[in-house]
C-alpha cells in the first residue's frame, strides 16, 4: 500500500497532543478522515438497504422510472442515487487526499469546515459527471428504442461501452489521471497559503474530483450499465478503483482490468456467451 494510505490508517489512533483539559483529542486530519469514513459507511448502508428492500428500483433503476416521471424529476432521482454511489465507491480511494488537504490548511480552516469544503468541490465535479452519464444513458436508450437494427442487436450498446471502457484503461490520460489520484501530495497545497484558504481547499476538492473522474469515469460507466442497484458490481468495482488509487501496483491493475473489459466486450458481442 502507498505511504498515503498508511498515514490514513492512523486515523483510528488518538492524537499525540492533548487539549488544555488534559483529554486526548484527534488531530484535525484524523477527524476529517473519521467524518469521511462515517459518510462512506452511511452510503453503503443506504445501498444495502435499497438492495434488500428492492427500493433500488426507484432510486437506481432510472430507466424503469423515466417513462412515468418528468425528465427533471427522473434526473433528480438519478443524481441522488449517483451521489450515494460516488460516496460509497469513490471516497474510499480519496481518503488520503482528504487527509492531506485538511492537514495542509493547518489552523487556517477548521477540520470540519475544511472537510465539507473539500467534499463540496469533489461532489460538484461528480454531479456534473452524473448529468453527463444520465443524458448519455437516455440517448443510448432512445437510440435503441428508435433504431430497429439496434433493437434487434441489443448487445451492440453494452459491448461498445465495455469495449470503450477497456480501451480507456490502457490510455495515457488514464495513467496520468490515476497518478494524480494516487499521489495526493501532488495536489497544489501551496495555494492554501493564500488568504482565502477556504476557497483554496474547495478548489483542491474540485481538482481532485476532476482527476478521479478522469481516472474512473470508464469504470463508473460500466457500473451504470450494470445497473446502479447491482450491489455486487459496486463492491467489485469499488475494490478495483480503491486499489488502483492506493495499491502498490495500481497502475498495473488498471491495465489488467482494461484487458479484462476488452475480453468481456468480445464475449458480449457473441450472443449466448453471457446472460442478457
Q: Is residue 275 part of a domain?
A: no
Q: Is residue 186 part of a domain?
A: yes
DSSP string, 65-134: HGGGS-HHHHHHHHHHHHHHHHHHHTHHHHHHHHHHHHHHTTTSS-HHHHHHHHHHHHHHHHHHHHHHHH
Cα 69 from chain centre:
27
Total tally of structural domains belonging to the chain: 1
Say which residues have a Cβ less than 8 Å from residue 157's Cβ, sequence separation at least 6.
Answer: 140, 143, 144, 150
Higher pLDDT, 86 or 197: 86
Q: Which of 38-47, 183-192, 261-270 has the lowest mean pLDDT?
A: 183-192
pTM: 0.75
Distance CA 58, CA 134 (A): 15
Give mean pLDDT, residues 259-274: 82
Q: Is residue 18 part of a domain?
A: no
- Mean pLDDT of all residues in the chain? 76
Give mean pLDDT, residues 217-226: 82
Give mean pLDDT, residues 178-184: 77
**DSSP state at residue 154:** T
Say which residues have a Cβ less than 8 Å from residue 149's Cβ, sequence separation at least 6.
Answer: none
Start-to-end CA span in the chain (Å): 37
Q: Is residue 229 part of a domain?
A: yes
Give mean pLDDT, residues 185-204: 60
CB atoms within 10 A of CB 46: 19
Q: Which of 29-43, 59-73, 90-104, 257-271 has the lowest mean pLDDT?
A: 59-73
Q: Is residue 107 part of a domain?
A: yes
Domain that holds residue 78: 3-12+23-268
pLDDT of residue 64: 44
**All 3 cell numbers of residue 141?**
436508450
pLDDT of 151 > 60? The answer is yes
Most confident by average pLDDT, 100-114, 188-202, 257-271: 257-271
Q: Is residue 30 part of a domain?
A: yes
Q: pLDDT (tens digit, 9 = 90+) per residue, 94-124?
A: 887 787 777 766 556 676 777 888 899 999 9
Amino acid at each position: 500500500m502507498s505511504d498515503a494510505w498508511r498515514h490514513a490508517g492512523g486515523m483510528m489512533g488518538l492524537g499525540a497532543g492533548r487539549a488544555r483539559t488534559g483529554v486526548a483529542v484527534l488531530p484535525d486530519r484524523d477527524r476529517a478522515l473519521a467524518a469521511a469514513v462515517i459518510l462512506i459507511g452511511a452510503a453503503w448502508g443506504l445501498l444495502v438497504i435499497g438492495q434488500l428492500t428492492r427500493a433500488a428500483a426507484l432510486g437506481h433503476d432510472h430507466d424503469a422510472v423515466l417513462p412515468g416521471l418528468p425528465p427533471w424529476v427522473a434526473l433528480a432521482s438519478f443524481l441522488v442515487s449517483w451521489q450515494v454511489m460516488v460516496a460509497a465507491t469513490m471516497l474510499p480511494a480519496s481518503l488520503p487526499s482528504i487527509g492531506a488537504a485538511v492537514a495542509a490548511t493547518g489552523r487556517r480552516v477548521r477540520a470540519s469546515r475544511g472537510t465539507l469544503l473539500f467534499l463540496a468541490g469533489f461532489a460538484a465535479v461528480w454531479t456534473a459527471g452524473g448529468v453527463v452519464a444520465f443524458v448519455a444513458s437516455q440517448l443510448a436508450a432512445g437510440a435503441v428504442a428508435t433504431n430497429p437494427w439496434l433493437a434487434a442487436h441489443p448487445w451492440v450498446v453494452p459491448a461498445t461501452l465495455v469495449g470503450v471502457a477497456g480501451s480507456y484503461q490502457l490510455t495515457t490520460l488514464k495513467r496520468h489521471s490515476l497518478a494524480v489520484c494516487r499521489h495526493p501530495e501532488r495536489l497544489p497545497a501551496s495555494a492554501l497559503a493564500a488568504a482565502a484558504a477556504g476557497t483554496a481547499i474547495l478548489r483542491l476538492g474540485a481538482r481532485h474530483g476532476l482527476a478521479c473522474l478522469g481516472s474512473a469515469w470508464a469504470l463508473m460507466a460500466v457500473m451504470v450499465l450494470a445497473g446502479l442497484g447491482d450491489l455486487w458490481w459496486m463492491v467489485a468495482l469499488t475494490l478495483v478503483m480503491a486499489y488502483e488509487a492506493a495499491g502498490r501496483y495500481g497502475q498495473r491493475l488498471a491495465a489488467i482490468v482494461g484487458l479484462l473489459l476488452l475480453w468481456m466486450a468480445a464475449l458480449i458481442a457473441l450472443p449466448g456467451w453471457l446472460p442478457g
